[in-house]
Chains A and B, each alone.
Chain A
Amino acid sequence: MVMHPLVSVVDDDQSVRESLPDLLREFGLSVAVFSSAEEFLASDSIGQTQCLILDIAMPGMSGPDLQRELILRRQKVPVVFITALKDETVGPRLLKQGAVACLLKPFSETALIDAINVALRMK
């Protein structure tokens, strides 16, 4: 892994916002946390983010909405989707649109590390 690359986490679920950044920091990553897609878009972290860990279902702008918005803005941010909803059709569709991975909550540490490593190699 590269030294302290920035990973941004966008999730409306508080327990994810509390737990995931600590684990990512244990991996040696820098972390920025956002509770909504809108908040992330308004931040200045977009340009520095080397991997975006993004919840799919959120009130307001959803994860896939944010992914489309980033493409429109020509921001090449590798996206790792996370979701608690098991829907077999969503994952493949998002991967087709350029997502790095789609992890079903609860996901293992290994699956998370693998996905982030792919994302960091892309940037």
Chain B
Amino acid sequence: MANEITRQNNSGLFSGESVLDILKLIFAGAPLSEILTIIARLVEAQGNGIFCTIWLLNEDGRYLHCAAAPGLPGFAAHVDRMSVGPKGASCGTAVYRKEPVYVTDILSDSIWDDYRHLVSPYGIRAAWARPVLSSEGKVLGTFAILYREVRSPGTADLQLIENASHIVGIAIERQMKEEALAKARSDLAHVGRVTSLGALTASIAHEVNQPLSGIITNASTCLRMLAADPPNVEGAIETARRTIRDANRASDVITRLRALFVKKDAAIEAVDLNEATREVIALSSCDLQRSRVTLRSELADDLPPVAGDRVQLQQVILNLLRNASDAMRSVEDRPRRLVIRTQRDEDDSVRLTVTDAGAGIEPQALDRLFDAFYTTKSDGMGIGLSVSRSIIEQHRGRLWAAANDDGPGATFSFSIPSASERITGAQHLTRSM
């Protein structure tokens, strides 16, 4: 058999080095469609007349979508999807039965009745499909080999299909884990916005003390109005009403803050701000892409380390990036460009700036920007910048905002002393955090 795939000793397909190359791609985070196409091409390169298709099962498990069919131009668009069921051609039936389905001739096999017309333009006769399983045995999709001749698989073919299915399974599972991880990261980052409890105490106190003040004043007034001769009942009712309203206001604040949890003590270490920034960028890249924001980073290479809590500083950077991205949400008439920059500042400080091309900042809002609970976002708590400023101030630095003078948008910057500047400062920080 001229076309039968023969196993080679060490460089054979889906053994040894070729597997390693594909695994490297998978774990380097290459896009799934790219990896699946490479795998399919490798299979097709094994002989003449072999076509490889790879199918992904959709979330509800009812359909298979063609994810790769490099040797059959237009096939994926033409066939689009297959239903999972007892008559779902080779792939749909393989998922339905949870076992490989090797059809030697699709013209004579009844499981192909509903799909024969779809593949006839491609002259397909034999179709061998194997379910792709996750490490827990869940069906993720199918791996299939097609021929334009009547044909049944040989031992080497079966081995190839099995090996390739495993690799495809790893690739799909890896992608799913990446997605789950990205979601967990984004949830964590959201919680991370409000984790610095120490910094928040002042904000909470402020926000609760305002209505408490109203409650006490109103209640005092109410008592006086009732004790008067004759008692001012109407006035007393009004002040009692206001008392209840302010009490509700205080209770709302508590409800908003319920999600908080206590963060462990700050860990002071020498932090490479560039590296910390790169990590945050990597963490945010998905979100930024989704928001169609292009990010340019200009990180100075002569940056001295700073002494501080790496995670807290990253929270600040993340918060600034998120704000910048959010500020450009409604921008449609110009690129949503975001620039993050690090540089050496005067007096041995290190500065980080985040510049967006968003709506900018109203002059009257500049004053309130860093107030707790001040927000221009419909879905924001308004404590991100307030917490960020507290964190930067605890690092003996400062955080400020300015409108861009060379175009629309705003620039947020912080500057903190470099580590050499503050050997004693680090001790101070440890105590105060």
Q: What residues of chain A have their CB less than 8 Å away from a CB belonging to chain B?
A: 13, 15-16, 18-20, 22-23, 26, 57, 59-60, 82, 84-87, 104-109
Contact = CB atoms under 8 A, between A and B. Distances in A.
A44 to B, nearest CB: 25
A15 B246 contact: yes
Nearest to A60: B367
A22 B214 CA distance: 11
Contact of B202 (A86, A106, A108): A86
A85 B216 contact: no
A20 B217 contact: yes
B78 interface: no
B120 interface: no
Interface string B355-380: 00000000010011001000000000
Interface string B209-228: 11111111110110011000
Given A22-B221, A59-B367, A85-B202, A104 B209 contact: yes
Nearest to A19: B217
Contacts of B235: 22
Contacts of A106: 209, 212-213, 215-217
B139 to A, nearest CB: 59
B205 interface: yes
A105 B220 contact: no
B225 A60 contact: no
A59 B368 contact: yes
B204 to A, nearest CB: 11
A57 B373 CA distance: 14
Given A59-B364, A85-B205, A16 B214 contact: yes
A107 B224 contact: no
A86 B205 contact: yes
Given A16-B213, A57-B371, A86-B202, 7 more contacts: A15-B246, A26-B221, A84-B205, A105-B209, A106-B209, A109-B216, A109-B217
Chain B interface, DSSP helix/strand/loop, else mixed: helix
Interface in B178-218: 202, 205-207, 209-218
Contacts of B368: 59
Interface string B157-187: 0000000000000000000000000000000
B205 A13 contact: no
Contact of A107 (B216, B242, B246, B367): B216
Contact of B239 (A19, A57, A107, A109): A19
10 contacts: A15-B249, A18-B214, A19-B242, A22-B235, A60-B367, A82-B213, A86-B202, A104-B209, A106-B216, A106-B217
Contacts of B209: 84, 104-106
A19 B239 CA distance: 7
A104 B205 CA distance: 11
A109 B205 CA distance: 20
A18 B242 contact: yes
B216 to A, nearest CB: 5
B225 A26 contact: yes
B210 A23 contact: no
A15 B213 contact: yes
Given A18-B242, A86-B202, A26 B224 contact: yes
B211 A108 contact: no
A108 B212 CA distance: 11
Nearest to B220: A109
B367 A13 contact: no
Interface-central residue, A15, A59, A84, A108, by most chain B CB under 10 Å: A15
Contacts of B367: 59-60
A84 B215 CA distance: 13
A16 B217 CA distance: 8
A86 B213 CA distance: 13
